[in-house]
Structures are given as C-alpha cells and as structure tokens.
Amino acid sequence: MDNSEVVTRLAKPMKKGLLHLVFSRFFVIALLLILQVAILFGAFNWLLEYVPQLAAVQGLFSLVMIIYLFNNDMDASAKLTWMFLIAILPLPGAAFLFFTQMNFGHRASRKRVDALVQQTTDVLPQDPTVYDRLELGGSGMDDLAKYLNRSGSFPIYDDTDVTYFPSGEEKFEAMLQALREAEAFIFLEYFIIEEGYMWGRVLDILIEKAAAGVDVRVMYDGMCEMTQLPSDYCERLKQHGIKAKKFAPIMPLVSSHYNYRDHRKILVVDGKVAFTGGVNLADEYINRVERFGHWKDAAIMLRGGAAMSFLLLFLQMWNIDEPEAQFEPHVSLPAVPSEKPSGFVLPYGDCPLDGYRVGETVYIDVLYRATDYVHIMTPYLILDGEMETALKFAAQRGVDVKLILPGIPDKKAAYALAKTHYRALTEAGVQIFEYTPGFVHAKVCVSDEEKAVVGTINFDYRSLYHHFECAAYLYQCSCIPRIEQDFQATLALCRPVTMETIKATPFGYKAAGTLLKFIAPLM
C-alpha cells in the first residue's frame, strides 16, 4: 500500500449514524459523565429536604465563603463570579469552587510541569551580549525577558530570521516545504487536527519521512476526539511509524483537568525551523471549506536559534506523561543561526499550572510601553479588569489603540460577551472594528513599528488563564512592517464600531452578554 492509499484510509470521514454514536466511546463517556452529575445533583436534592435545619447556618456559611474569596489570589473578576454563584446557590456553588480550586484532575500534572521546567531551566543559555545590547537600547525588553525566565527557559535571540504569514494558505505552503526538508526530526503540537485536505497533505509527508528514519512525533489536544478525530487515531498513526499522543484525553470521570487544554500550535523541524500562530491543521484555516465566511489567520516561521525554544516547549509537553523525561539529544543540538538574522526574538510559553499569567503580562507590557500605536487582531474579547484597564489607559494617554474582531462569529456566546466591552473601550478612545468578510482567528499585536507578538494567545479568559499557550515577542525584526501592513489591509475590510452601532446591537446579544458576564471567567 503506497502513502497516498494510507492517507486516504486514515483520512476517511468518521461515521455519523445513530448506531455508530450509541455504540461509540464518546457516547459511553458522555453517559458516565451524565450519571456522575446526576448523582451529585441527587445528593444536593437530598440535602434540600433538610432546608429548615440548614437555613440557620446558610448565612454564616456564605459570609465565610465571601471572606475566603476576598483573601484568595484569583483574578478580581473571577472572585465576583464565584460570589454571585455562592450567593444564589451556597452549597453547590461552594462545592464547585472547591472542586476547581483543589484541581484534583491536575495535581499530578502541576507537579510534573514544575519538575520539567526545573529540569530544563538552564538547557538554553542566554547569550549575555544580547542582554547587554538590549539594556543599552532602553527598550525594556531585557526586563520582560527577566520576568519570563522566572517561569521557564526563554532566552532572547539575535540570530533568527522571522517570516510573517498573513494567511493560513501562505503558512501551509511554507510548512509543507519545511517538512520536505526534514532530515532528523519533525515535532508537531496542535490544538486541532482534522481529517481533510490540509492534514492529508501533511500526513503524506510525515509517513514518507517516518519511513525514511526521521523521528516524527504528533501531539494534539484530547478534545479532538469530540468531533475531529476517532479515539484510536494515535494508534493509526503509530502503525505508520509516527509517534503520537493526545493531551488530556476525554475520560469517563468528572474532573477539573478538562479545563486546561493544549491550545498551542507548534511545528519544529530539525531544531532549525519553527512555526507558530493561529493556524491549526484543518481545512477552514486555509479556506478550503467555509464555516464562518472568509477565515483570516496569521502565523510566523522562525529560522535560527529561536527555533530551539519551541523545541523545548514541545518536549516539555511531550514528557508530561512519560515515566522518565527525555530531552536529549535534542536540547544539546547546537543552534543554527540564520544567514540573514533580523532584530530580536523572544519565544515563550504560557502554562496555566505554574501561577504565572505570562500571556496577559506580555500584552499588558506592550500596551503600557507603547508611545504611538498598538494594533491588535483577536477572535475573542473576554477581558478581566486588568486587561481592560491597560487597553483604556493606553488609549486615554494618546496611543492609537485599534482592535479587529470577527464580523461573523464562530461562537455566539463569546461574541455577545465581546460586545459587553465595546461601550467602555469606545468611550475611552479604543477603536474597535469587525471583519466584514468573516472570522478573524489571528492572534497578533503590533506596536510602534518595532514590536510585535504573534502566537496562539487570544484576549479571553480561556487563553489567558486556562490554556497551555505559546507565542513569540519580536523586536526590531524586519517582518514587523509587514505585520502592520497586514493589519491595515485587514482594517480596510472592516466595519467600525461606534456608539451608534453599539446602541443598535440586537437585543438578543445584549441580553446574552449581560447574563453571561456573570460567569465569563468560567467560560
């Protein structure tokens, strides 16, 4: 059987019939989860029979919970959400709070992540001459790097060339070329992999390279089992020499571990080339199929030393469930500088288990240091108080702050929540635009013609608090003008948000946004 036949077999559509659903692993897991939830509600209903006895202590209990929340180090918006839940449902709300706070499903993962980060703290040494040049330049990037290195090994590189792709289609073609050039290893870590043209083309090359002795590894988020991939897809890939894993697969157990997803998009080839950005491996990302109008996305390719940071990020995730972590010989490979380096590149990851809010902190740093403009593309806008304040403060001190969001949403609830921020941001001088042709999935922030962030991190609670994420901070790189040009080209296809359009927002969105804002930190 040749490769094309193998890809066809692997990529055949999943059956959607009723019998297939009833006897599927997903149905069994869903049934068991529903059963567990029913048991929990049954227990609560049993307690309700003793309401007269419980009424006397309910007020005291609520007061104790409010005192606990005030002294908790969670985000202020999250505290308000929990206070609301506990006020209307004291016992169920408190039980749910402690369930999420105890992190039963991720205690082992937290310890494992901490151990892996500690194990690799010094594997990518920082070139001190790069730090010296940044300190002399007064950009503040050296201070940011010091912060980032408290949460992992994130050196700054001056030996890397960065290529910016203003669409998934352009990234896809460059990605295929990089895969064809692989000689030693190919590591892919993606939030979504879905059978179709895009993944089929990639899989063709992966099977060919694995047969030639290249170390090919694929890791995807376990949520893909819900709709994109069958539960045995890893085994199918392994049959063709590809090492494959699911991050946090769906299991028949109610657990907080489902709250933390691997939202990263990373491809590393031979430690020389790395890709990241918003583009997953599914056909809508390259507009082969249309889901929400035209799909606007973005990505970058790094050639040079900075690729090693994405290699390390991949290996840290790959080793989370390994009995013995294996980083060698990959992390000892000598960095291969680009022949045409440009500016400074600082790759970084964000882990929801380490107590650092890296993704949000980097965005806020850009906003507070900006002097001319900050232009942002993001698919979602569900902000905590700190991020909203940073956006408003930048605009109020004269910085040109513009946001591009989708004109056609993929999630109506998220779209309604985004609109709840429109009025306050607009009144502060932030200019908001919606992409008329369709859906914006790019996660891009560009500032002052010299700084940019491109990666996987959205402006919402999921990305900023609950997901494993990654990005690259770019300073004085030659591609930054192209990022700004892409922003302006996208802006030309947008409709502006004004006070008049805000007032004309359909009642359904207003009502949904108002109600959902109570639980926004939990979404």
Residue 490, domain CATH: 3.30.870.10
430 band by pLDDT with thresholds 50, 70 and 90: very high
Report pLDDT for 15: 46
Q: How many domains does the chain have?
A: 3
Q: Select the more confidently predicted residue: 147 or 167.
A: 167
Other Cβ atoms closer than 10 A to 11: 15
Residue 35 has pLDDT above 90, yes or no: no
| DSSP code at position 331 | G
Q: Decide if 39 is inside a domain.
A: yes
Q: Select the more confidently predicted residue: 77 or 243.
A: 243
Q: Which residues of 328-364 are buried (b: 16+ CB within 10 A; e: fewer)?
A: eebbebebbbbeebbbbbbbbbbbbbbebbbbbbbbb
Q: Decide if 424 is inside a domain.
A: yes
Instruction: Name the residue range of residue 207's domain.
Output: 107-140+153-343
Statement to judge: residues 180 and 128 lie in one domain: yes
Residue 108 has pLDDT above 70, yes or no: no
Q: Decide if 197 is inside a domain.
A: yes
pTM: 0.85
Statement to judge: residues 172 and 257 lie in one domain: yes
Report pLDDT for 6: 47
pLDDT digits (tens, 9 = 90+) for 310-337: 999 999 999 988 888 888 899 888 888 8
Statement to judge: residues 283 and 188 lie in one domain: yes
**Nearest Cα to Cα of residue 264 among 247, 249, 250, 251:** 247
**Are β-strands 273-277 and 299-303 bridged in parallel, bridged antiparallel, or unpaired?**
antiparallel
Domain end among 289, 315, 343? 343
pLDDT digits (tens, 9 = 90+) for 232-253: 899 999 999 999 999 877 665 5
Statement to judge: residues 398 and 516 lie in one domain: yes
23 band by pLDDT with thresholds 50, 70 and 90: very low
Statement to judge: residues 160 and 270 lie in one domain: yes
164 band by pLDDT with thresholds 50, 70 and 90: very high
123 band by pLDDT with thresholds 50, 70 and 90: confident
Residue 446 has pLDDT above 80, yes or no: yes
Report pLDDT for 53: 60
Beta bridge partners of 405: 434
Residue 257 has pLDDT above 60, yes or no: no
Mean pLDDT, residues 200-209: 97
Task: Find out whether the peptide bond into 329 is cis, omega within 30 degrees of 0.
Answer: yes
Statement to judge: residues 116 and 71 lie in one domain: no
Q: Decide if 13 is inside a domain.
A: no
The rounded mean pLDDT for the chain is 86
